[in-house]
Amino acid sequence: MASAPKTTEDGQGGGSGGRKTQQRDVIRRVLEDAGRPLAVGEILEASGAVLPSVGQATVYRTIRYFDERGLLTPIELPGEPTRYEWKRSDAHAHFTCEVCGRTFCVDAERVAVTVRLPAGFEAGEQQVFLRGCCPDCAE
């Protein structure tokens, strides 16, 4: 019986396609350091600035690799490209600027949403998405 691929906490090592690569490490750092969800194009641009050999196919493969290991959170907003953020343990909402299109993480304590569910409904995961104008675009 084959054992499950071994994955370290940072998603590196072990199993098929699990070897640590320079490209994967750069993409991981880009996602961790961004502080906000990034679209594939943003990941490609930031990674390519650090390591020019990172291509679009590498970004997609790496996103799939991290996502399969539960290390990423895909952020899917209606009418927007999927964005990805490194898995966070804190509760937070997402704010998308309608001017520049960037999406930011917002501390959930600053966002108060009350929803009264009908009888018999039980809420699981909550996702809060806000739209408006970011401070850079408001100037």
Other Cβ atoms less than 10 A from the Cβ of 69: the count is 19
Is residue 124, in this structure, part of any structural domain at all?
Answer: yes
Residue 109 annotated as part of some ligand binding site: yes
57/100 same-domain check: no
Q: What are phi and psi of 107, to 5 degrees?
A: -55, 125
Residue 133 annotated as part of some ligand binding site: no
Cβ-in-10-Å burial (0-12, 13-18, 19+) of 66 comes to buried
71/27 same-domain check: yes
Residue 97 annotated as part of some ligand binding site: yes
- pLDDT tens digits along 75-97: 888 788 899 988 876 677 888 89
Instruction: Give the domain range for residue 100.
Output: 87-138
Q: How confident is the model at residue 46 (pLDDT cuts 50, 70, 90)?
A: very high
| Structural domains of the chain, count | 2
Which CATH number covers residue 94? Answer: 3.30.1490.190
26/81 same-domain check: yes
46/100 same-domain check: no
Q: State the Cα angle at 69 between 67 and 70, rounded to 5°.
A: 65
Residue 105 annotated as part of some ligand binding site: no
Across 15-35, average pLDDT: 84
78/26 same-domain check: yes
Task: Choose between 80 and 3: higher pLDDT.
Answer: 80
